[in-house]
Structure 1
Amino acid sequence: MSWIILFVAGLLEIGWAIGLKYTEGFTRFWPSVGTAAAMLASVGLLGLAMKSLPVGTAYAVWVGVGAVGTVILGVVLFDEPMNLLRGASVLLIVAGLVGLKLATP
């Protein structure tokens, strides 16, 4: 169950990272409220997952899920570039996340 909670926390991290773009420096009210809510929920779920997962593993997976998702949504939503090196780097992050999952009891 902790892994599912951690994954949801990572999804919320993607939400607040992308939400930051829409806040326009926290000058837009509703995007700012949504971003702040996603931040709080994400960190709260991370803390809950850390009750039974090692801190290093949980934090790395949380950041990794957020980073990979944010890169992908950046490409889709904001027309950010995707090239071979960037794609390979994202795949390396995914490989690291899988490795951490497999190495954690």
Structure 2
Amino acid sequence: MHWVYLAIATVFEIAFALCANAAKGFTRLWPSVLTLVIGALGTFFLSLALITLDVGVGYAIWTGLGSVGIVLLGTLLFKERLDWRKVLGIAVVIVGVVGLELSGAAV
């Protein structure tokens, strides 16, 4: 179940970043409120995953996959440039996440 909680937390992490972008430095009320609520929900689900996962592994996977998702959605939604360096970075993160999962750190 910890992987399900971590997946949910990762979706909230991605949504958090997108809402933070829409909040424009917390100058827009509803995107700002949504940013705080989504951030709290993501942290809540991360904490559920960390009951079983090692904190270093869980947090690294959460932030790593969240970062990949944000880069990809930034490319799709905001027409941000995806060059070979970003693709290489995504590949390195994915390899790292797989390595952490294979480490058997979950009890």
Q: TM-score range by the shorter chain?
A: over 0.9
Q: Structure 1 CA distance, aligned partners of 2:27 and 2:83?
A: 32
5+ unaligned residues in a row in structure 2: which ranges?
none
5+ unaligned residues in a row in structure 1: which ranges?
none
TM-score (norm 2): 0.93
- The one-letter amino acid of 1:62's match is W
TM-score (norm 1): 0.94
- The one-letter amino acid of 1:31's match is P
Q: Shift of the alpha carbon at 1:76? A: 1.0
Matches within 5 A, 1:47-62: 47-62=47-62
Per-residue CA shift, 1:18-76, capped at 9, x if unaligned?
Answer: 11110011111111111111100001111111111111100100101110001111111
The equivalent of 1:75 in structure 2 is 75
- Quote the RMSD (CA, aligned, Å): 1.0
Structure 1 segments (4+ residues) deviating >3 Å: none
The equivalent of 1:94 in structure 2 is 94
Matches within 5 A, 1:1-105: 1-104=1-104, 105=106
